[in-house]
Amino acid sequence: MRRKIIAGNWKMHKTNSEAIQFVKMLKVKLINFKKTDIVVCPTFTSLSQVSQILDSTNIGVGAQNLHYEDKGAFTGEISAEMLLSAGCEFVIIGHSERRQYFNETDQTVNQKVHKALEKGLKPIVCIGELLEEREDNQTMNVIERQVRALFAGLSEEQASKLVLAYEPVWAIGTGKVASPEQAQEVHAFIRNLMAELYSNNLAQSVRIQYGGSMKAANAKELLSQPDIDGGLIGGACLEPDSFRDLIEVAEGF
């Protein structure tokens, strides 16, 4: 049985003081949730303080990006070791907003996955098709290309440490959630592809989150699909009660 994993991607929201106030509330509200892995991914500037507040709680901390080099002249970037020193356990890699606005490619995603694993961070790797690609019946081709690329050069042991997030780009921040059938179809496809690339064992153990306008009201249907193992959450993670309500749904599985 794969444990559900719900991760909140704060994107570019919350100042330091807002972040501190938020996680202080959150840790109280989530204290009794035991069955779900819970992660929050604040901005870089709040990581350190958020990690201290959430230390020894049931809430893990992740970053939203990293650079694939160890150090050097990369103005504005942040390294895996810096994230570890700020208390991070997870890191989101290849979010569609990074691919769309910051020139992230299948190749840089793969480089970042390698670096995160080498340093001991747990990557949450995002994949997903654009609306035009879905309308053009290209969804599975795009997903296959992204999945093959992100796993390139990884051993089975390394691959087993990943969490994947299937996020149809047309569903992110739009309120237009994928139907449970649409999401399940892609999740099953990804799992079959992992079995082909590695083994059935690996495919059955790697968790695949769904992301795209997931909230408490639609989470049950999505999470009851056999290959949907959690959610990567944008809008619904920004208020303590909406995030709590969503995790309560995940706890029911």
Q: What's phi and psi for 106, nearest 5 deg?
A: -55, -35
Q: Which residue is nearest to ligand PEP (CB)?
A: 234
Using CA atoms, how far apart are residues 197 and 134, in angstroms rounded to an integer? Answer: 24
| Number of helices and strands in the chain (H, E) | 12, 8
Among 164, 172, 183, 222, binds ligand PEP (CB under 6 A): 172
Residue partners of 36: CB distance under 8 A and separation at least 6: 3, 4, 5, 6, 230, 247, 250, 251
Among 116, 129, 61, smallest CA distance to 89 is for: 61
Tell me if 9 contacts ligand PEP by CB under 6 A. yes
The least CB distance from residue 81 to ligand PEP, in Å, is 25
User: Which residues does 10 contact at the CB level (< 8 Å), separation at least 6?
Assistant: 19, 40, 41, 42, 43, 64, 237, 238
Nearer to ligand PEP, 128 or 202 (CB): 128
Does 64 sit near ligand PEP (CB under 6 A)? no
Residue owning tokens 């569903």: 171
Which among 45-53, 153-161, 232-240, 245-253 is the span making contact with ligand PEP, rule CB under 6 A?
232-240
**Which of the ranges 52-60, 102-110, 156-164, 227-235 carries the binding residues for ligand PEP, by CB under 6 A?**
227-235
List the one residue from 233, 246, 247, 249 that touches ligand PEP (CB under 6 A).
Answer: 233
| Least spacing, CB of residue 245 vs ligand PEP, in Å | 14
Q: Could you say whether residue 42 binds ligand PEP (CB under 6 A)?
A: no
Place of tokens 């079995």: 195
* Enzyme catalytic residues: 95, 167
Binding residues vs ligand PEP (CB under 6 A): 9, 167, 172-173, 211-214, 232-236
